[in-house]
Structure 1
Amino acid sequence: MSSLFIYDKAEKVLVMLLAGGQGERLYPLTKDRAKPAVPFGGIYRIIDFPLSNCLNSGLKKISVLTQYKSYSLDRHLRIGWNIGNYELGEFIESIPPQKRTSDLWYQGTADAVYQNIYVLERERPEKVLILAGDHIYKMDYRELIAFHESKQAEVTIPCLEVPLHEANRFGIVSINNDLQITDFVEKPPHPRPIPSNPNVALVSMGIYLFNTEVLVKQVIGDAKQDTSHDFGKNIIPSMISNSRLFAYIFNDKNNKAVKYWRDIGTLDAYWDANMDLVQVEPIFNLYDTSWPIRTYYERYPPAKTVFSELFPGGRCGMVLNSLVSNGCIISGARVEKSVISPNVRIEDHSEVYDSIIMDGVRIGKNVKIRNTIIDKSVIVPDGKQIGYNPEEDARQFTVTEKGIVVVPKELPLL
Structure 2
Amino acid sequence: MIHKVVSLVLGGGRGTRLFPLTQQRSKPAVPIAGKYRLVDIPISNCLNSGYNKIFVLTQFNSASLNKHIKNSYNFSIFSKGFVDILAAEQTMEGDRWFEGTADAVRRTQKNLHNVDYEYVLILSGDQLYQMDYSLLVDFHVANGGDVTIATIPVNGRDATGFGILKANEKNEITAFTEKPDKDEVLNWASEVSDAMEQQGRLYLASMGIYVFSKGVLRTLLKDNPGMDFGKEIIPDAIGNLNVLSYQFDGYWTDIGTIRSFFDANIGLTDDIPNFNLFEETVYTRARMLPPSKISGTTLNNTIVADGCILNGDKLERSVIGIRSRIGKGTVIKSTYMMGTDFYEHLEEVLELGTTQQPPPIGVGERCYIENAILDKNCRIGNDVRIKGGAHLPDGDFETHTIQDGIVVVKKGAVIPNGVTIGC
TM-score using structure 1 length: 0.88
| Correspondent of 1:298 among 275, 287, 295 | 287
Q: Cα offset for 1:334? A: 1.1
Matches within 5 A, 1:205-224: 205-223=207-225
Match of 2:353 in 1: none
Rounded Cα–Cα distance in structure 2 between residues aligned with 1:115 and 1:122? 16
Return the letter of the residue paired with 1:238.
D
Structure-2 change in CA distance of 1:91 and 1:84 (3 Å): farther
Match of 1:28 in 2: 20
Query: Contact 1:386/1:393 (CA < 8 Å) preserved in 2?
Result: no
Matches within 5 A, 1:82-101: 82-83=74-75, 85=77, 88-100=79-91, 101=93
Match of 1:380 in 2: 380
Match of 1:47 in 2: 39
Match of 1:8 in 2: 2
Match of 2:354 in 1: none
Matches within 5 A, 1:61-72: 61-72=53-64
Secondary structure of 2:41's aligned partner: helix
Rounded Cα–Cα distance in structure 1 between residues aligned with 2:407 and 2:167? 41
CA RMSD, aligned part only?
1.9
Q: Cα offset for 1:295? A: 1.1
Name stretches of at least 5 consecutive residues in structure 1 with no aligned partner: 1-6, 252-258, 308-316
Query: Contact 1:305/1:318 (CA < 8 Å) preserved in 2?
Result: no
| Correspondent of 1:335 among 300, 304, 315 | 315
Q: Cα offset for 1:164? A: 1.6
Structure-2 change in CA distance of 1:233 and 1:388 (3 Å): closer
Number of corresponding residues: 382
Matches within 5 A, 1:239-258: 239-250=237-248
Query: Contact 1:333/1:346 (CA < 8 Å) preserved in 2?
Result: no
Match of 2:205 in 1: 203
Are 2:339 and 1:356 equivalent residues in the alignment?
Answer: no
Query: Contact 2:339/2:362 (CA < 8 Å) preserved in 1?
Result: no
Query: Contact 1:99/1:115 (CA < 8 Å) preserved in 2?
Result: no
Query: Contact 1:169/1:187 (CA < 8 Å) preserved in 2?
Result: yes
Q: Cα offset for 1:327? A: 1.1
Per-residue displacement from partner, 1:169-205 (whole Å, max 9, x unpaired)? 2210101110001011222234344256565311111
Secondary structure of 1:205's aligned partner: strand
| Correspondent of 1:405 among 400, 407, 413 | 407
Secondary structure of 2:160's aligned partner: helix
Rounded Cα–Cα distance in structure 2 between residues aligned with 1:413 and 1:372? 14
Per-residue displacement from partner, 1:41-93 (whole Å, max 9, x unpaired)? 111111111101100111011110000111111111001112254x6421110
Structure-2 change in CA distance of 1:148 and 1:327 (3 Å): same
Identify which range, 134-143 or 385-394, moves more after superposition.
385-394
Match of 1:268 in 2: 259
Per-residue displacement from partner, 1:6-63 (whole Å, max 9, x unpaired)? x413xx2111110132111111000111100100011111111110110011101111
Q: Cα offset for 1:301? A: 1.1
Structure-2 change in CA distance of 1:173 and 1:299 (3 Å): same
Return the letter of the residue paired with 2:166.
S
Q: Cα offset for 1:380? A: 0.4
Structure-2 change in CA distance of 1:58 and 1:84 (3 Å): farther
Return the letter of the residue paired with 1:8.
I
Rounded Cα–Cα distance in structure 2 between residues aligned with 1:298 and 1:146? 36
Rounded Cα–Cα distance in structure 2 between residues aligned with 1:373 and 1:39? 11
Q: Cα offset for 1:365? A: 0.8
Per-residue displacement from partner, 1:121-156 (whole Å, max 9, x unpaired)? 232521111010011111111111111111111000
Match of 1:256 in 2: none
Rounded Cα–Cα distance in structure 1 between residues aligned with 2:277 and 2:311? 27
Q: Cα offset for 1:160? A: 1.1
Query: Contact 1:172/1:204 (CA < 8 Å) preserved in 2?
Result: yes
Rounded Cα–Cα distance in structure 2 between residues aligned with 1:358 and 1:391? 22
Q: Cα offset for 1:388? A: 5.7
Structure-2 change in CA distance of 1:199 and 1:325 (3 Å): closer
Return the letter of the residue paired with 1:68.
F
Query: Contact 1:17/1:63 (CA < 8 Å) preserved in 2?
Result: yes
Match of 1:187 in 2: 179
Name stretches of at least 5 consecutive residues in structure 2 with no aligned partner: 192-196, 341-360, 417-423
Rounded Cα–Cα distance in structure 2 between residues aligned with 1:215 and 1:388? 46
TM-score using structure 2 length: 0.86
Identify which range, 353-362 or 392-401, moves more after superposition.
392-401
Match of 2:276 in 1: 285
Q: Cα offset for 1:222? A: 2.3
Per-residue displacement from partner, 1:99-128 (whole Å, max 9, x unpaired)? 433111101000001101212323252111
Structure-2 change in CA distance of 1:141 and 1:385 (3 Å): same
